[in-house]
Amino acid sequence: MLTITAALRDRIVAHARADHPDEACGVVAGPEGTDRPERFIPMLNAARSPTFYEFDSADLFKLYREMDDRDEEPVIVYHSHTATEAYPSRTDVSYASEPNAHYVLVSTREEETYEFRSYRIVDGVITEEEVDVVEAY
């Protein structure tokens, strides 16, 4: 189960809305071994595409060095789907390289509503998980 604050969820959704019609992407880092998302890190979609996202390799390298220096890990890897449901595509599964991360997808296909769903993706197997939204940890 993913436990996330309402404030972090809202920031992820706001980033997805702001980048629409392109897919948004980013990471929420947390202290190593805690499974607690804390630091919101919106990233640039280097693909600048409404159907595909790609982290800029230099930005990603810099982020991982920064997380190492801060004893953090990627607790959430998120991106948006702009025209489809919030379910991982084959490409999303092929890019899922963090077995301990929660892969959050936000669908912005509806202007007034959104879907916010979380998955574990390990060895190509997709498992949807419950999302518990809390006010504070």
9-62 per-position pLDDT tens digit? 999 999 999 999 999 999 999 999 999 999 999 999 999 999 999 999 999 999
pLDDT at residue 92, rounded to an integer: 95
pLDDT at residue 78, rounded to an integer: 98
pLDDT at residue 63, rounded to an integer: 97
Averaged pLDDT score across all residues of the chain: 96
pLDDT at residue 30, rounded to an integer: 98
pTM of the model: 0.96
- Residue 102's contacts (CB-CB under 8 Å, 6 or more residues apart) are 2, 37, 75, 76, 77, 118, 119, 120, 129
- Residue 68's contacts (CB-CB under 8 Å, 6 or more residues apart) are none
